[in-house]
């Protein structure tokens, strides 16, 4: 292709990867006008817009997404070639840039990500944040995938694909001194119990609210948390009853010194890995999906 100039392509790749022209100019040690000129020339050569410019980080067009995927592969292979010529025979493994929604319990995220931490898959870069923020970074190709407890809402018009990892029921925990009392006549014994709950904008909270209503349970809500790690910190101090996915029950019992009051299969928490690809090609993401479906949530 006579029009493909790799200097222009690198400027485009760095702009997307770094999150903007100014960050790309710092990464490549050139001026911002130079980066902007390279981007304009590349778009003229391609004959299609690659970036939707506005406030904040640039957003990729559909053509831009295709261009970025190829550019990312080109420069990854370039790094591998450079390493090979310098005598490094081992290929450079593809890194994984993974977003983790802050409402996903850390212990669940740990088990989900574990297969990708094998050396054969390269470096794993984890970023935590709000689901909407992470999806924005995914669309801008700054992340390879996002782990979340809800699928992408089709009304958000985000061109991404939800890959269900699995689902888990809930386990109700209590401080050791109170667990036996709450086990008696469970779950009605929880009426009026002091509860530590997820924030009301989480899928886990909505599922628990439905279960409370169906069983005529009126919890005494002592605190609400968007960050499940913070909830577990308060729970470890014995400040109330709480619920977390059964799939990490053993971890919770060990970390919080909490006792199991009961298990609730009708309250389900689902976990997804969200990508821009209908068919996942990234080896590390494939390893995550396969282990989650065959072992973790089986």
pLDDT in tens, 134-161: 998 888 888 999 999 999 877 767 788 9
- 179 found inside a domain: yes
Same-domain status, 258 and 275: no
* Mean pLDDT calculated for residue range 159-178: 94
How distant, in Å, are the alpha carbons of 40, 62, 86, 107, 190 from that of 48? Answer: 10, 10, 38, 44, 60
- Residue-wise pLDDT for 221-252, tens only, equals 999 998 888 898 899 899 999 999 999 999 99
Residue 96, pLDDT above cutoff 80: yes
Buried residues in 170-195 as b, exposed as e (16+ CB within 10 A): bbbbbbeebbeebeeeebebbeebbb
Number of domains in the chain: 3
pLDDT at 89 (0 to 100): 54
Both 277 and 131 in one domain: the answer is yes
Domain containing 203 equals 168-268
Rounded Cα distance, 285 and 124, in Å: 11
Whether 55 shows a pLDDT value over 80: the answer reads no
More confident residue, 1 or 64: 64
Q: pLDDT confidence of 13, banded at 50, 70, 90?
A: confident
Pair 291, 159 in one domain: yes
Residue 41 lies in a domain: yes
Percent of the chain past pLDDT 70, that is, above it, reads: 93
Per DSSP, 98 falls in state E
1, pLDDT greater than 50: no
Look at residue 1 and tell me if it is in a domain. no
Give residue-wise pLDDT tens across range 25-49: 998 999 999 999 999 999 988 888 8
Q: What is the pLDDT of residues 258-296, one digit of tens each?
A: 999 999 999 999 999 999 888 888 889 999 999 999 999
Do the beta carbons of residue 196 and residue 204 sit within 8 Å? Answer: no
In a shared domain, residues 160 and 277: yes
Does residue 145 lie in a domain region?
yes
Instruction: Say if 204 falls within a structural domain.
Output: yes
90 domain residue, yes or no? no
Strand 259-275 with 145-148, pairing: antiparallel
CA 244 to chain centre: 18
CATH number at residue 50: 1.10.10.10
pLDDT at 120 over 90: no
Residue 264 has φ and ψ, to the nearest 5°, of: -125, 100
């Amino acid at each position: 292709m006579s029009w493909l100039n790799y200097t222009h392509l690198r400027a485009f790749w760095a702009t997307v990867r770094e999150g903007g022209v100014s960050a790309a100019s710092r990464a490549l040690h050139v001026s911002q006008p130079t980066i902007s000129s390279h981007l304009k020339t590349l778009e003229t050569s391609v004959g299609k817009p690659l970036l939707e410019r506005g406030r904040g980080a640039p957003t990729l067009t559909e053509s831009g997404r295709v261009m970025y995927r190829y550019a990312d592969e080109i420069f990854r292979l370039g790094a591998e070639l450079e390493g090979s010529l310098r005598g490094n025979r081992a290929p450079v493994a593809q890194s994984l840039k993974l977003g983790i929604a802050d409402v996903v319990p850390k212990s669940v995220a740990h088990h989900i990500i574990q297969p990708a931490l094998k050396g054969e898959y390269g470096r794993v870069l984890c970023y935590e944040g709000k689901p909407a923020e992470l999806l924005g970074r995914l669309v801008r190709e700054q992340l390879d995938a996002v782990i979340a407890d809800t699928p992408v809402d089709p009304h958000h018009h985000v061109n991404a694909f939800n890959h269900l990892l699995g689902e888990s029921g809930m386990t109700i925990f209590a401080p050791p001194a109170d667990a036996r009392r709450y086990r008696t006549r469970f779950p009605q014994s929880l009426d009026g119990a002091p509860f530590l709950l997820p924030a009301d904008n989480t899928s886990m909270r909505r599922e628990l609210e439905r279960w409370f209503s169906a069983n005529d349970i009126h919890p005494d809500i002592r605190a609400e948390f968007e960050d499940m790690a913070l909830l577990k910190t308060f729970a470890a101090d014995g400040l109330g009853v709480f619920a977390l996915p059964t799939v990490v029950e053993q971890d919770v019992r060990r970390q919080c010194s909490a006792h199991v009051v009961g298990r609730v299969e009708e309250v389900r928490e689902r976990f997804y890995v969200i990508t821009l690809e209908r068919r996942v090609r990234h080896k590390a993401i494939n390893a995550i999906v396969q282990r989650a479906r065959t072992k973790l949530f089986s």
